[in-house]
Amino acid sequence: MPVLWKSLKLGISFVFIYVLIVFSAPFIIRLMGTTSVSSSPTMFQFSLYSINIRGNTFESEATIMGLFISLILGTVIYYIFHSLNKG
């Protein structure tokens, strides 16, 4: 049971990293001088995130699918490293 809690904590850490990246990416892109970007990748017909930059305005949106994928990814990575170090 402790492995499950540790893996979920790492998954939640991945969710926070995902949110930080999605919300800080427009600032970084804008500081690099790009004035027109529209990015909204999809997986299974659900958007992972949405970033729009038009001139001096920008917006970013973290979606439920992106949050779910980052949670699952963090949990799976913990289980893989835990099983490799256990043996």
What's the mean pLDDT in 60-74?
Answer: 93
Task: Enter the pTM of the model.
Answer: 0.84
Following DSSP, what letter does each residue of 47-85 receive, concatenated? ESEEEEEETTEEEEEE-HHHHHHHHHHHHHHHHHHHHHH
Task: Tell me what pLDDT residue 8 has.
Answer: 87
pLDDT for residue 55:
87
pLDDT band at 23 (very low <50, low <70, confident <90, very high): very high
